[in-house]
Amino acid sequence: MPDGELRERNTGGPPQGGVISPVLANLFMHYAFDKWMEKQNLRNRWVRYADDGMIHCFTKTEAERLLSLSGKSLFYYGDSFP
Protein backbone atom coordinates (compact mmCIF):
# COMPACT_ATOMS: atom_id res chain seq x y z
CA MET A 1 0.00 0.00 0.00
CA PRO A 2 1.16 3.58 -0.46
CA ASP A 3 1.66 3.96 3.29
CA GLY A 4 3.88 0.84 3.44
CA GLU A 5 1.21 -1.38 5.02
CA LEU A 6 1.27 -5.00 3.82
CA ARG A 7 -2.01 -6.73 3.10
CA GLU A 8 -2.80 -10.32 2.31
CA ARG A 9 -3.71 -10.86 -1.33
CA ASN A 10 -7.28 -11.89 -2.14
CA THR A 11 -7.11 -15.18 -4.03
CA GLY A 12 -10.87 -15.88 -4.32
CA GLY A 13 -12.74 -15.57 -7.59
CA PRO A 14 -11.48 -14.72 -11.05
CA PRO A 15 -8.92 -11.93 -11.34
CA GLN A 16 -10.20 -8.53 -12.35
CA GLY A 17 -9.24 -7.95 -15.95
CA GLY A 18 -8.88 -11.69 -16.55
CA VAL A 19 -10.23 -13.19 -19.76
CA ILE A 20 -13.03 -15.07 -17.96
CA SER A 21 -14.30 -12.05 -15.96
CA PRO A 22 -16.43 -10.52 -18.76
CA VAL A 23 -17.98 -13.91 -19.54
CA LEU A 24 -18.92 -14.51 -15.91
CA ALA A 25 -20.25 -10.97 -15.52
CA ASN A 26 -22.39 -11.36 -18.64
CA LEU A 27 -23.80 -14.69 -17.43
CA PHE A 28 -24.64 -13.19 -14.05
CA MET A 29 -26.32 -10.14 -15.59
CA HIS A 30 -28.26 -12.35 -18.01
CA TYR A 31 -29.95 -14.19 -15.14
CA ALA A 32 -30.00 -11.46 -12.49
CA PHE A 33 -31.15 -8.55 -14.68
CA ASP A 34 -32.21 -9.58 -18.18
CA LYS A 35 -34.49 -12.46 -17.15
CA TRP A 36 -35.89 -10.45 -14.25
CA MET A 37 -36.79 -7.57 -16.59
CA GLU A 38 -38.37 -9.94 -19.12
CA LYS A 39 -40.58 -11.56 -16.48
CA GLN A 40 -41.34 -8.78 -14.02
CA ASN A 41 -41.32 -5.54 -16.01
CA LEU A 42 -43.05 -6.01 -19.33
CA ARG A 43 -44.22 -2.39 -19.37
CA ASN A 44 -40.74 -0.85 -19.43
CA ARG A 45 -38.32 -0.89 -22.32
CA TRP A 46 -34.75 -1.53 -21.30
CA VAL A 47 -31.30 -2.07 -22.74
CA ARG A 48 -28.11 -3.55 -21.36
CA TYR A 49 -24.59 -3.41 -22.77
CA ALA A 50 -22.01 -5.41 -20.80
CA ASP A 51 -22.48 -4.31 -17.19
CA ASP A 52 -24.37 -1.09 -17.96
CA GLY A 53 -28.13 -0.99 -18.16
CA MET A 54 -30.91 1.51 -18.68
CA ILE A 55 -34.60 1.12 -17.89
CA HIS A 56 -36.95 3.58 -19.58
CA CYS A 57 -39.47 4.76 -16.97
CA PHE A 58 -42.58 6.91 -17.19
CA THR A 59 -42.28 8.65 -13.82
CA LYS A 60 -39.66 9.38 -11.18
CA THR A 61 -41.60 7.24 -8.69
CA GLU A 62 -41.51 4.30 -11.10
CA ALA A 63 -37.77 4.81 -11.64
CA GLU A 64 -37.11 4.79 -7.90
CA ARG A 65 -39.23 1.64 -7.45
CA LEU A 66 -37.42 -0.19 -10.27
CA LEU A 67 -34.04 0.89 -8.95
CA SER A 68 -34.87 -0.62 -5.57
CA LEU A 69 -36.32 -3.82 -7.06
CA SER A 70 -33.43 -4.31 -9.50
CA GLY A 71 -30.96 -4.02 -6.63
CA LYS A 72 -32.88 -6.70 -4.74
CA SER A 73 -32.82 -8.95 -7.81
CA LEU A 74 -29.07 -8.52 -8.22
CA PHE A 75 -28.53 -9.22 -4.51
CA TYR A 76 -30.76 -12.32 -4.63
CA TYR A 77 -28.97 -13.81 -7.61
CA GLY A 78 -25.57 -12.75 -6.32
CA ASP A 79 -26.27 -14.58 -3.08
CA SER A 80 -27.33 -17.76 -4.90
CA PHE A 81 -25.13 -17.70 -8.01
CA PRO A 82 -22.64 -20.61 -8.07
Among positive and negative, which fits the CA dihedral 24, 27, 31, 32?
positive
pTM for this structure?
0.57
Ramachandran angles phi, psi of 57, nearest 5°? -115, 160
Question: For residue range 18-71, what is the model confidence (pLDDT) as tens digits?
Answer: 667 778 888 888 888 888 888 888 888 988 887 778 889 999 999 998 888 887
In the chain the beta strands, taken as DSSP E runs, fall at 46-49, 52-55
DSSP assignment, residue 34? I
- Residue 30 CA, chain-centre distance (Å), reads 9
- Which three-class secondary structure state does DSSP give residue 78? helix
